[in-house]
A and B are shown apart, each in its own frame.
Chain A
Amino acid sequence: MEKSKVWKFNHNVDTDQIIPSQYLLLPTIEEMKAYTFEPLIKDFAKQVQPGDVIIAGENFGCGSSREQAPRVLKELGVRAVIAGSFARIFFRNAINIGLPAIICKEAYDKVKQDDVVELDMSEGLLKIGDETLTCTRLPEYMQTILNAGGLIEFLNKEEVE
């Protein structure tokens, strides 16, 4: 299993907190990513390391339909977002762009900021200290899109087949 540092977030993290509206006008995700989580953590984009994971409470990604929210996280190298539950548009967007959005009800209460956890995405296992939690599996159709790397890759692959 691969080790990842934890960034812990609360319940109901909305898309305006992930990437505030005023930055949606920047022409590229590359430029936008510097402002990720700006209302919550000033230097998140500088501090986060590729391979880190986000662990949050219920309803992660509620609010707007902005796909830039999962995009900036992916662009910063966030390996997966693990939450008690996800708002539906964020969840679809995350899978469609190839960012693993993993539902694990118990993780939130068991981790602290900066903990190191081990995540096995193929088996859906999350190891926190000595404890191994089982994450909810995606519906097969969504798993296929995620495995392909996202919707574009999935559609392109379908065409070839």
Chain B
Amino acid sequence: MGYTCIEKIIMKNLGQNHVRPNDIVTVNVDRVMIHDIFVPFVADKFEEMGFEKIWDPEKVVLIYDHLVPTSRVEDVRHFQIGDAFAAKYGIKNVHRGDGICHQLMPEADYVKPGDVVFGTDSHTTTYGSIGAFSSGVGYTEMAAILGTGQLWVKVPETIRVTIDGKLPAGVMSKDVILRLIGDLGADGANYKALEFAGSAVDSMSIASRMTIANMSVEAGAKAGLFAPDEKVAEYCGVSIEEIPDISADENAKYAKEIRYKAEELVPVVACPSSVDKIKPVTEVEGTPIDQVFIGSCTNGRLEDLEIAAKILEGKKVADYVKLIVTPASREVYRQASEAGILETLIKAGAIVTHPGCGLCCGRSGGILSEGERVVATNNRNFLGRMGPSSVEIYLSSPAVAAASAVSGRIALPAL
């Protein structure tokens, strides 16, 4: 019997020629990411554990993104503690405002196909888009990895999701993952790996795959994986021959197999306040909104801003609606600026903010007020995520978000 993608990554990591779901194994960690919110807690636990040095400082990446720029006086403490920790233990890979961690990790070449990566953030699953097994851990576990370079994991079962065909105009990879979360439920992939395949997936950009891998955790998945192809090789600046063979075998065993015909998928939203409350946009069309947010580690990449600009070109954001656009990284910001995308967005009335997590984590850059409603391209619409509990968050693709900004109501993109 063959092996799934995640089984192959774990086997490669262990140097073994066999593993099976539910085996408990200790993997050697290739890279870790710690962000600004949790760095003080990691530092504290690391010292409490009595470690004197980090197993390999080169493999540690510290990223300030949730609190950049600061919105409250006390935020600075996190940078001070982070900087002191980095200096004391020789961490050189520190990013202070270059962008959101999950955009930077692949963008700045910290992750390679076949790697095992952990981060102090649940959306660490994003790097599955380039064939890495990456997942979120708590700060105590992160401290233990810093000291030992290892972590125990249970080899997960895999759910294979095949999407064949061509997505209709106006349907983005965000609609695909939202639909899947709706079908699986918010716990439908708990402890399992999702593995994506099919001709619609093959024709997706890396950015589109990142959106899917990023939100795999919203169905509870430990990983959301795409077998590396030529596009991944190009993105990572390597030849396809250099990438280890981690593609699933033909006769791999899956816990479940799900198939979609791309042509049958439609634009959808996740309604408040649950990621699996999925409805076609046509069912909620016309619902009045107060704000639109295009950004985050889910949908703040160049192609997301590009499609928003295409929809907003020559139009104006509706009166009383705030459109907040947050590029996922400084590099995305620069590219969007160079391509004239930002100019189009600004002319349409968008508020373009610095790269960071700001609004998605309810910290800064457009917190909503009692009873307001927002269409947002990020990954969570939980109660109280972007303001008081009475705020209603609808999750959507950047195309739906941009169309809604123009109409002032939830709207279908005309593409």
Binding site for B on A (CB under 8 A): 12, 14, 16-17, 20-22, 24-25, 27, 38-40, 58-59, 62-68, 85, 87-89, 92-93, 96-97, 139, 141, 150-152, 155-156, 159
Q: Does B41 contact A (CB under 8 A)?
A: yes
**In the complex the two chains form, what is the Cα distance from A52 to B191 in whole Å?**
28
Q: Are A63 and B380 in contact (CB under 8 A)?
A: yes
**In the complex the two chains form, what is the Cα distance from A97 to B140 in whole Å?**
8
Q: Does B343 contact A (CB under 8 A)?
A: no
B363: contacting residue among A22, A89, A97, A151, CB under 8 A: A22
**In the complex the two chains form, what is the Cα distance from A65 to B136 in whole Å?**
6
Q: Which residues of A contact B41 (CB under 8 A)?
A: 67-68
Q: Are B274 and A12 in contact (CB under 8 A)?
A: yes
Give the total number of A-B pairs whose CB atoms are below 8 A apart: 108
Instruction: Report the interface size class on chain B.
Output: 35 or more
Q: Mark B162-185, 1 if CB is under 8 A from A, else 0.
A: 000000000000000000000000
B122: contacting residue among A22, A65, A68, CB under 8 A: A65
Q: Are B190 and A89 in contact (CB under 8 A)?
A: no
A87: contacting residue among B24, B37, B124, B187, CB under 8 A: B187
B186: contacting residue among A39, A59, A64, CB under 8 A: A59
Does more than half of chain B's interface fall in helix, strand or loop, or is it mixed?
Answer: loop
**In the complex the two chains form, what is the Cα distance from A64 to B363 in whole Å?**
15
Which among B40, B49, B187 has the highest number of chain A CB atoms within 10 Å?
B187
Q: Does B106 contact A (CB under 8 A)?
A: no
Q: Does B113 contact A (CB under 8 A)?
A: no
Which among B37, B72, B119 has the highest number of chain A CB atoms within 10 Å?
B37
A96: contacting residue among B74, B119, B136, B140, CB under 8 A: B140
Q: Does B254 contact A (CB under 8 A)?
A: no
Given that A16-B380, A62-B186 are contacting pairs, would A152 and B45 also be in contact in the complex, using a CB cutoff of 8 Å?
Answer: yes
Q: Which residues of A contact B24 (CB under 8 A)?
A: 139, 141
Q: Does B77 contact A (CB under 8 A)?
A: yes
Given that A65-B138, A92-B141 are contacting pairs, would A85 and B190 also be in contact in the complex, using a CB cutoff of 8 Å?
Answer: yes
> Which stretch in B11-19, B256-264, B300-308, B381-389 binds the other chain?
B381-389
Q: Are A39 and B384 in contact (CB under 8 A)?
A: yes
Q: Which residues of B contact A14 (CB under 8 A)?
A: 380, 382-383
> Closest 9 A-B residue pairs measured CB to CB?
A67-B138, A59-B187, A93-B138, A65-B136, A16-B382, A39-B384, A65-B122, A39-B389, A21-B362
B40: contacting residue among A27, A58, A92, A155, CB under 8 A: A27
Q: Are B49 and A96 in contact (CB under 8 A)?
A: no
